[in-house]
Amino acid sequence: MTGLAEAFDRIGTFLEYRLPLTHAPGAALAVTDRDEALGVVVRGFADVASGVPVLPRTRFQIGSISKSFAAIVALQEAEAGRLDLRAPVTELLPWLELPQPYGPITPHHLLSHTSGLVQGTEDAPGALGAAGRLRELEPGFPPGERFWYSNDGYKLLGLVLERVAGAPIQDLVRDRVLRPLGMTSTEAVITNATRVDLATGYSSIHDDRPAQLTHPLVPAQWGVSASADGSIVSNVVDMSAYARMLLAGGIGPDGSLLSPESFATFTRSVIEDLESPGFGYAYGLLVGKQDGRRRIRHSGGMVGFTALLMVDPDDGLGSVMLLNGEGDREETVRFALDAVRAVLRGDPLPEATEPESPAHVPDAAGYAGTYRGGGREVEIAAEGEGLVLREGPLEATLQRAGKDVFLVPHPALDRFHLRFERNTEGRVVVALHGPDRLVADGADIPEPEPHPAAWEAYPGVYRSNNPWIPVMRIVLRAGRLIRLCTSSWEEDVELPLAPLPDGSFRVGDEPWRPDRMRFEDLVDGRANRLVYDGGSWFRSFEE
């Protein structure tokens, strides 16, 4: 097709500009139409130490994109009459003994993340381990009431499918989805043997603070997996075949994976996802509108890997991007779809622009001022196109990390994000940095309420061998306990702890949140163990 080569050259340039701003050494991206893959772009290294480059066939872990594969198997079982999606999970798994104070949880709730179950900590490996944890943890709200992402919910779904279909979930996905779609390089289980031809996953050398571009990358901790929430290994060529199935309404090269009615259920929004404006969650997929177009999509994250699948049904295009590390995929995938769409329509190609520097802050003057608290005096100055923090002899140029959230790239200050709070008039009045609450000069901010003396035993650094959340830091700030977590898997890396009558804490202020934390094993006036959703983290020597 005339113009495609130039389009993919521009996509490659666009990716080259952005890969250095990720925490990944390599990436692969493909775009497909309804008939075939139109092109693949690869950049960087599959393994840095050996210098092996990323190739189109390079395999990555795709993380939570795997959930939609399990959803297809569930709908197939429903079509066959072996699975009632509205039946209580405790009837399908009689041994489960799942607490259900608000009413029965069903496969429908598990598929749509409306069960109220905790997200899961991966502290107990495997689906059965997660099920054991869930026996001890009550849901946060009545099933179907709201959206709350739960990896553990999909682990339960996998156990249900294994019981009703009589085979391991990885075999079901292989036989029902991968083989019919010709995805011959894809596996639905991660074993030590998988590692032989898999890209090496990478993470920041520092697991106790927000990742910064100046931090070296190291090979991520390895783990095996065979659960329905995220155990698929694939490459962009095979994933293009999966995108084509979505574009074809559930039809693969050898026939339909799902009936039209089941595919409609598969891609019909069940509930709004407040974290993704314009989208609702269906069964293992986000569906909605973006850039004025219908889109079906899902992201994925594993330890050392991230991924994004995006499909435009109306334009008949799909794209997938896989990285062996962490980083933004959204902008690059959208550019890739825009570039190929322009070729198909005969429109001018979009320009492969360089990304804006993370140090550029358009409204820098709104943050400028002197902030004081906790014995500290910090000056935030608007200089050039950005912000500079000065504290005594220390100086750092801030980098954007979100709305009113910044990285502080200085080894003495980089353990915490710098977060700003605004008053009802929209003016920045407070800066938060770890345990410190710094008030802007001239701001009228009430003094915080005193905290209970017993809470003095809880602040500190707690560690686990769990690779997903290796570190949690608890700080006392302005009369409240705050959980700081640097795991990219956790959407909310900074959350207040709300005390409960039994001495434990709800993680987050919203009364419906299911996550629970408690502190145990006091030694010399300090808690030695933090228990979070059933998993244990132990006090470290670090400060």
- CATH assignment of the domain containing 409: 2.40.128.50
What's the mean pLDDT when you consider all of the chain? Answer: 95
How close are the terminal C-alpha atoms of the chain, in Å? 59
Separation between Cα atoms, residue 109 and residue 76, nearest integer Å? 17
Listed in order, strand segments (DSSP E) in 408-534 are 418-422, 428-433, 436-440, 460-463, 471-477, 480-485, 494-499, 505-507, 516-523, 526-532
Q: Is residue 335 part of a domain?
A: yes
Q: Edge-to-edge strand order for the sheet containing 369-373?
A: 394-397, 386-391, 376-383, 369-373, 436-440, 428-433, 418-422, 405-407, 399-402
Q: Is residue 314 part of a domain?
A: yes
Separation between Cα atoms, residue 375 and residue 438, nearest integer Å? 9
Q: What is the pLDDT of residue 486?
A: 75
Q: Is residue 39 part of a domain?
A: yes
Tens of pLDDT, residue by residue over 316-338, are 999 999 999 999 999 999 999 99
* Domain with 156 in it: 70-165
Are β-strands 376-383 and 460-463 bridged in parallel, bridged antiparallel, or unpaired?
unpaired
Separation between Cα atoms, residue 247 and residue 262, nearest integer Å? 15
Beta-bridged to residue 439, according to DSSP, are 372, 430
Average pLDDT over residues 40-65: 98
Alpha helices in 62-150 (DSSP H): 66-79, 89-92, 107-112, 126-134
Tens of pLDDT, residue by residue over 76-90, are 999 999 999 999 999
Average pLDDT over residues 143-152: 97
Quick one: 30 and 100 in the same domain?
no
Alpha helices in 387-433 (DSSP H): none
Domain final residue pick, 165, 200, 233: 165
What CATH number does residue 14 fall under? Answer: 3.40.710.10
Separation between Cα atoms, residue 374 and residue 41, nearest integer Å? 50
Supply the angle between the helices 151-165 and 126-134 in degrees, to the nearest 10. Answer: 110
Whose CA is closest to 64, among 359, 284, 265? 284
What CATH number does residue 522 fall under? Answer: 2.40.128
- Say if CB 60 and CB 24 are below 8 A apart: no
Supply the angle between the helices 330-345 and 4-18 in degrees, to the nearest 10. Answer: 160
Quick one: 195 and 284 in the same domain?
yes
- Say if CB 238 and CB 186 are below 8 A apart: yes
pLDDT band at 490 (very low <50, low <70, confident <90, very high): very low
For the CA atoms of the chain, what is the radius of gyration? Answer: 24
Quick one: 270 and 333 in the same domain?
yes
pLDDT band at 277 (very low <50, low <70, confident <90, very high): confident
How many domains is the chain built from? 4
Quick one: 311 and 252 in the same domain?
yes
Separation between Cα atoms, residue 349 and residue 5, nearest integer Å? 11
Q: Given a cut of 50, is residue 135 above it in pLDDT?
A: yes
Q: Is residue 180 part of a domain?
A: no
Average pLDDT over residues 226-230: 97
Helix or strand (DSSP H, E) at 279 = strand 279-281
Domain final residue pick, 134, 165, 196: 165
Q: What is the pLDDT of residue 39?
A: 97
Q: Is residue 109 part of a domain?
A: yes
Listed in order, strand segments (DSSP E) in 123-221 are 202-204, 217-219
Q: What is the pLDDT of residue 125?
A: 78
Q: Given a cut of 60, is residue 512 above it in pLDDT?
A: yes
Q: What is the pLDDT of residue 493?
A: 79
Tens of pLDDT, residue by residue over 403-430, are 999 999 999 999 999 999 999 999 999 9
- Say if CB 159 and CB 127 are below 8 A apart: yes
Q: What is the pLDDT of residue 276?
A: 83
Quick one: 196 and 337 in the same domain?
yes
Alpha helices in 85-182 (DSSP H): 89-92, 107-112, 126-134, 151-165, 169-173
Share of the chain above pLDDT 90, in %: 93
- Say if CB 401 and CB 210 are below 8 A apart: yes
Quick one: 236 and 336 in the same domain?
yes
Average pLDDT over residues 216-243: 97
Q: Given a cut of 80, is residue 491 above it in pLDDT?
A: no
Beta-bridged to residue 475, according to DSSP, are 482
Quick one: 310 and 212 in the same domain?
yes
Q: What is the pLDDT of residue 515?
A: 96
Quick one: 243 and 392 in the same domain?
no
Q: Given a cut of 50, is residue 489 above it in pLDDT?
A: no
Average pLDDT over residues 113-122: 95
- Say if CB 133 and CB 123 are below 8 A apart: yes
Quick one: 61 and 74 in the same domain?
no
313: helix, strand or coil: coil
Q: Given a cut of 70, is residue 343 above it in pLDDT?
A: yes
Quick one: 260 and 374 in the same domain?
no
Quick one: 337 and 192 in the same domain?
yes
Separation between Cα atoms, residue 535 and residue 108, nearest integer Å? 27
Tens of pLDDT, residue by residue over 350-360, are 999 999 999 99
Domain final residue pick, 378, 412, 440: 440
Q: What is the pLDDT of residue 1?
A: 62
Quick one: 334 and 474 in the same domain?
no
User: What does the block give as tokens for 190?
Assistant: 């991660």
